Amino acid sequence: MSATLTTVENPTLAQRAVMLASDSLTITKRNAIKIKRVPDVLIFTTLSPIMFVLLFAYVFGTAIQVPGMEGGYREFLIPGIFAQTVIFGGTFTGLSLAEDIQKGIIDRFRSLPMEPAAVLIGRTSADVVINVVSLVVMSLAGLLVGWRIRGSFVDAVLAFLLLLLFAYSISWIMAIIGLIVRAPEVFNNAVFMVIFPLTFLANTFVPMDKLPAPLKLFAEWNPVSALTQACRDLFGNTNAAMPPPDTWSMRHPVITTLVWVVIILVIAVPLAVRQYKRSVSR
């Protein structure tokens, strides 16, 4: 790694950009190799989506009816589980950073001639690989329980790309949390306090019209709801029998999701880099 991570005295802006890209690629490779050498990560990454698909499809699916949908509740469900799973996949960034701080790996990075932001870019980029594996496994599990893609091939690809893009933005939020708490055990407790309200107070598992008014208002503007609705629209898993949504965010879920991604990245990236510099200077 030290042979790749190099620096230049008084670099220009272009040289700094090249250094950042090179250092980020090196850190991404390091994290990808770590996934390969610790197969437990991939095992639980693939088992968790299967568990969620089977649990919700065969337990909740017997109690929740979605009239008018060709594939029933399972087609309504799978896009919501997609959204939930990629968000959970984004937590690997914060957990890994907390572990690296605890084990002193970050101190080693600090001693190397590298761009500080490269550690964060490399970590968040490597987690895209985890989410790709999760989506592949979960798609196969969904197809086995009755989920179908009824939209076009291009729309389906756009749906998967949108899931990965949103998960990438969430990774930067998790990076901030991981750098603040600095301990994997604390991170696990802290992150679930954020994820559970976002993923369950949404249209992920039940139609929003079944929620009480205050929760329905929150769900309508919840970014997870926009992501889920966007995936349902792109996959063709929509319900013609249900009335059209009455909020702008649900009528234009793709645009809403992209707006949320931009907002999250614009705020979270500089905050994460600042928090990283504070953490390594302690």
The tens-digit pLDDT sequence of the chain (282 residues) is 444 444 556 677 777 778 888 888 888 888 777 777 777 767 777 787 788 888 888 877 766 777 666 667 888 889 999 999 899 888 888 888 888 888 888 878 877 777 778 889 998 998 888 889 889 988 998 898 888 999 899 999 999 999 999 999 999 999 999 988 878 888 888 888 888 889 989 988 888 887 888 889 999 999 999 999 999 999 988 876 666 778 899 999 999 999 999 999 999 999 999 998 887 766
| Residue 124: strand, helix, or coil | helix
Give residue 2's pLDDT. Answer: 43
Checking phi first, is residue 152 left (phi over 0); if not, alpha (psi -120 to 50) or beta?
Answer: beta
Give residue 10's pLDDT. Answer: 66
Q: 106 phi and psi, to 5 degrees?
A: -65, -35
Q: What is the dihedral of CA 258, 260, 263, 266, to 10 degrees?
A: -60
Give residue 223's pLDDT. Answer: 95
**Helix runs in 38-152, H state only:** 39-58, 73-89, 91-103, 105-111, 116-145
Residue 182 is given by DSSP the state -
Q: 71 phi and psi, to 5 degrees?
A: -95, 5
Contact 150, 59 (CB under 8 A): no
Closest among 5, 31, 1, 30 to 19, alpha carbons compared: 5
Give residue 67's pLDDT. Answer: 66
Rounded Cα–Cα distance for residues 141 and 162 (Å): 20
Q: Give me the helix-helix angle, 116-145 and 39-58, nearest 10°.
A: 40
Give residue 9's pLDDT. Answer: 60
Give residue 71's pLDDT. Answer: 66
